[in-house]
Chain A
């Protein structure tokens, strides 16, 4: 077992550098360490200027997504020892403007998230005194998977469409729209459908599923997108071929 491991980290400090640069750090190798632990070692002992986000270190807050050897991963859930020997390359997630070092701007996602109305829509909310809305375990299972999204942005980083068409609303926001669309308590499907169909990106999405492959919580955004396409097509058929069908 090696004593140390080399991390090649992409740096970018806009006040000092005009573009990205690489910096090498040698850190102790420990079998229980994740890539994030190695970054924390650098920050604490070698170079206080290295900047990145992290918080929970248990795979649920979604802060620490980065490219490790070119793959979008949560660094708190990627062991050093799982990676091939040799140096480990760490970069910010691809597809986003970099603010500094490994920190990227996720404003675009937050704007898109808001556009899909990610909240429960009711024509009329019942008074609290009436108790809970009934929802059977089967009805819960209809959308539960899509509700597991931690907003880590790995799926956007992996998405070939988002890279080419920045207007594409993207895998996580579509999955979260579907999380509400398929919730038996919700009545907001139509408004969300209108937003999703505004851009062609969704039709460009093939069933390759890079987004689902990298998702750390098995949300399966690709399935959410295909499910949308199916219902949107049925809507279209109903409204054009069978115009009375929507009555």
Chain B
């Protein structure tokens, strides 16, 4: 086998989930003469977009308005969103959702055939489109199947990207391992888009699939692109214990209640409104995720949660919705409960606890999806534009992958069409170096005493303990020290697998290296932000501090030592910072 092979395209998309496929289609439509490559470590339909349940927000009903969607998003994000980005987002959201409808997405419907919408946490009106409770699944398969009709899109499935190729400050491709053969492959391109999703697996208890290891964030970070707002980790309030499987917020928008061990709707004690029998928008169970997860921790401290062998839980009660609503609007929830908890939510209470779900931060991009590095773009959970600020509202992320996937795809295609091709000779040495690094540091490595799973578990525990729902200086310092220790031990890892054919242990090892870099940025960004805002709650700095921190953090890679943290002002257009008010 040659040391490496090379391929040339105009636009390279890394990641084949919702954002990546939308970007690839946008690039193909913007510039039909360009060749577009999609490289993904899994077959696109395995990407984690598939697991999203509740829906995607976009203004479609006459009673709704773009300004309302913008305000809900900005207040939900505790004023850390860039308001110009939010305005573009809400404006383009409806047309993106309609485009998906034209491509066949099976949206749930009203009796007259129009698209149905449901309410969602933190939204003041019903604006969340849904396909029962498998919305992400249907969006991903619609995008994947639609992408098959574009002759200019070439897919490289099950290739794992290990490094970006950078020539004189411009991103011109990536190096990947073709998993089936172990062949090192260089893909050269005029523009590169990162769409690799989030990094939930840096935590021990998460809704995220095993594949969500922050790969794109780590690739950009090591190449010198800053990661923005990494301290903002979203805990979803309702995950099943042990598995961490998500029980969609749609259970609550349909009218579900959260009950403590006494059967009491405890959210009324946490400034989230008063309990009504029917759901009230922006109130109680339809408050934002950060506030609900924080309320759980306080309720647990008061001894009013229920102890189980997989941690404390509260109960989600949807029994009063009745079998018909559950079967038509929440069939997947019922299926998941029956399969993974042996209980029927039509008749029984669902045990739930907060679970790591989403990272608001990511690769720093502008409103077009462009990163500070020439030729490099990013979209979706990998990126931070930012429309999510300090706390993302449920059902904004599925829309985000469409709007900013399309924007990044268009911008990358326009950039590629106007730029010279990558110079092969100038990057070929980098490819050879990367092939050699992979061989020497991993495949040909002998000895080693550390087990991968042990290092991964220690990292995850440190993150949960130090960088969870509530944080303080001492906890963050301890987490930073543990991560450093794990990083120092990482080179001594022992690999059992020496084969080139589908070496999943090598992939797991490279994913761990990515996660360690990402974990470090989360901790150091959290430590530097001496205030509480959205999902970032510091017990030692309990108040929001707009004087010092109405700003995005930027974590810059430094080869020897922790990341350098800088700040960038938030863009405010029409909604000056104010107090977040929920509960009417």
B residues less than 8 Å from A147 (CB atoms): 106, 138, 141
Report the bound CA distance from A139 to B104 in whole Å.
Answer: 13
Q: Tell which of A43, A58, A150, A151 has the most Cβ of chain B within 10 Å.
A: A58
A60: interface (CB < 8 Å): yes
Contact of B209 among A16, A56, A118, A120 (CB under 8 A): A56
Known: A128-B99, A144-B106, A180-B104. A14 touches B501 (CB 8 A): yes
B residues less than 8 Å from A47 (CB atoms): 496
Report the bound CA distance from A122 to B501 in whole Å.
Answer: 43
B residues less than 8 Å from A143 (CB atoms): 106
B501 near A134: Cβ-Cβ < 8 Å? no
Contact of B109 among A44, A53, A131, A140 (CB under 8 A): A140
Report the bound CA distance from A51 to B179 in whole Å.
Answer: 11
A residues less than 8 Å from B157 (CB atoms): 110
B111: interface (CB < 8 Å): yes
Nearest neighbor of A106 in chain B, beta-carbon distance:
B43
Report the bound CA distance from A186 to B113 in whole Å.
Answer: 15
The interface on chain B, measured as residues whose beta carbon lies within 8 A of the other chain's beta carbons, has a size of 61
Q: Shortest CB–CB separation between residue A19 and chain B, in angstroms?
A: 14
A residues less than 8 Å from B339 (CB atoms): 59, 77
Q: Shortest CB–CB separation between residue A116 and chain B, in angstroms?
A: 10
Q: Shortest CB–CB separation between residue B178 and chain A, in angstroms?
A: 11
Contact of A15 among B101, B246, B501 (CB under 8 A): B501
A185: interface (CB < 8 Å): yes
Report the bound CA distance from A119 to B145 in whole Å.
Answer: 6
B307: interface (CB < 8 Å): no
Known: A48-B496, A60-B134, A143-B106. A136 touches B149 (CB 8 A): no
Contact of B149 among A32, A105, A117, A126 (CB under 8 A): A117
Query: Contact string, B335-364, partner A, CB cutoff 8 A, digits 1/0?
Result: 110011000000000000000000000000
A45 near B111: Cβ-Cβ < 8 Å? no
Contact of A136 among B60, B111, B336, B495 (CB under 8 A): B111
B residues less than 8 Å from A56 (CB atoms): 46, 48, 50-51, 209
B residues less than 8 Å from A120 (CB atoms): 102-104, 146
A55 near B42: Cβ-Cβ < 8 Å? yes
A3: interface (CB < 8 Å): no
Nearest neighbor of B453 in chain A, beta-carbon distance:
A44
A61 near B209: Cβ-Cβ < 8 Å? yes
Q: 8 A–B contact pairs at CB < 8 A?
A: A43-B504, A57-B209, A59-B336, A61-B209, A99-B502, A100-B501, A136-B111, A140-B106
List the 5 closest pairs (A to B, CB-CB), nearest first.
A134-B113, A48-B496, A44-B453, A120-B104, A118-B145
A residues less than 8 Å from B95 (CB atoms): 128
Q: Shortest CB–CB separation between residue B454 and chain A, in angstroms?
A: 9
B99 near A55: Cβ-Cβ < 8 Å? no
A135 near B113: Cβ-Cβ < 8 Å? yes
Query: Contact string, A85-128, partner B, CB cutoff 8 A, digits 1/0?
Result: 00000000000000111010110001001100111101001101
A48 near B112: Cβ-Cβ < 8 Å? no
B300: interface (CB < 8 Å): no
Q: Shortest CB–CB separation between residue B502 and chain A, in angstroms?
A: 4
A29: interface (CB < 8 Å): no
A63: interface (CB < 8 Å): yes
B residues less than 8 Å from A57 (CB atoms): 209-210, 243, 245
A residues less than 8 Å from B335 (CB atoms): 59
B45 near A150: Cβ-Cβ < 8 Å? yes
Query: Contact string, A47-82, partner B, CB cutoff 8 A, digits 1/0?
Result: 111011111111111110000000000000100000
A243: interface (CB < 8 Å): no
Which residues of B66-123 are within 8 A (CB) of A? 95, 98-99, 101-104, 106-115
Report the bound CA distance from A54 to B208 in whole Å.
Answer: 12
Which residues of B485-508 are within 8 A (CB) of A? 495-497, 499-505
Report the bound CA distance from A194 to B367 in whole Å.
Answer: 45
Q: Shortest CB–CB separation between residue A8 and chain B, in angstroms?
A: 19
B114 near A134: Cβ-Cβ < 8 Å? yes
B residues less than 8 Å from A119 (CB atoms): 103-104, 145-146, 148-149
A residues less than 8 Å from B332 (CB atoms): 60
Known: A55-B210, A147-B141. A128 touches B499 (CB 8 A): no
A229: interface (CB < 8 Å): no
B residues less than 8 Å from A48 (CB atoms): 452, 495-497, 505
Contact of A55 among B46, B101, B134 (CB under 8 A): B46
B38: interface (CB < 8 Å): no
Query: Contact string, B209-232, partner A, CB cutoff 8 A, digits 1/0?
Result: 111000000000000000000000
Contact of A132 among B106, B115, B336, B501 (CB under 8 A): B115
A192: interface (CB < 8 Å): no
Known: A56-B48, A120-B102, A140-B106. A51 touches B504 (CB 8 A): yes
A122 near B102: Cβ-Cβ < 8 Å? yes
B180: interface (CB < 8 Å): yes
B541: interface (CB < 8 Å): no
A58 near B149: Cβ-Cβ < 8 Å? no
Report the bound CA distance from A105 to B504 in whole Å.
Answer: 15
B137: interface (CB < 8 Å): yes
Report the bound CA distance from A55 to B149 in whole Å.
Answer: 26
Contact of A61 among B50, B113, B451 (CB under 8 A): B50
